[in-house]
Amino acid sequence: MSIFEIIDLYKKEIDKLMPFEGEMLKQITDYYKIELTWTSNALEGNTYTESETKVLLEDGLTVGGRPLRDTFEVLGHGKDSAYT
């Protein structure tokens, strides 16, 4: 079995669960908003950790000792995210 056939099987299984609704959709959306914000910013040298990014986006709490540039970068990316 080729890798493409395996991928097709996984895709068919995922499609059975579609469309995602309610709490499941919210959890997936929240996860990707935080994960994509953190990874994108980390690649550019942002000092926020994944946990700190989550706290900032969900609770609005900043981290002491971090540059304001990093804080605004996280907030800006989270706001502009396609997953908001």
Percentage with pLDDT > 70 across the chain: 94
The per-residue pLDDT of the chain, averaged, comes to 89
Nearest to 53 by CA among 38, 33, 36, 69: 38
pLDDT digits (tens, 9 = 90+) for 2-39: 999 999 999 999 888 878 788 888 888 889 999 999 99
Instruction: Tell me what pLDDT residue 50 has.
Output: 95
Task: Tell me the DSSP string of 42-79.
Answer: HHTT----HHHHHHHHHH----TTS-HHHHHHHHHHHH
Would the pTM of this model clear 0.75, i.e. be above it? no
Choose between 41 and 81: higher pLDDT.
41
Instruction: Tell me what pLDDT residue 81 has.
Output: 61
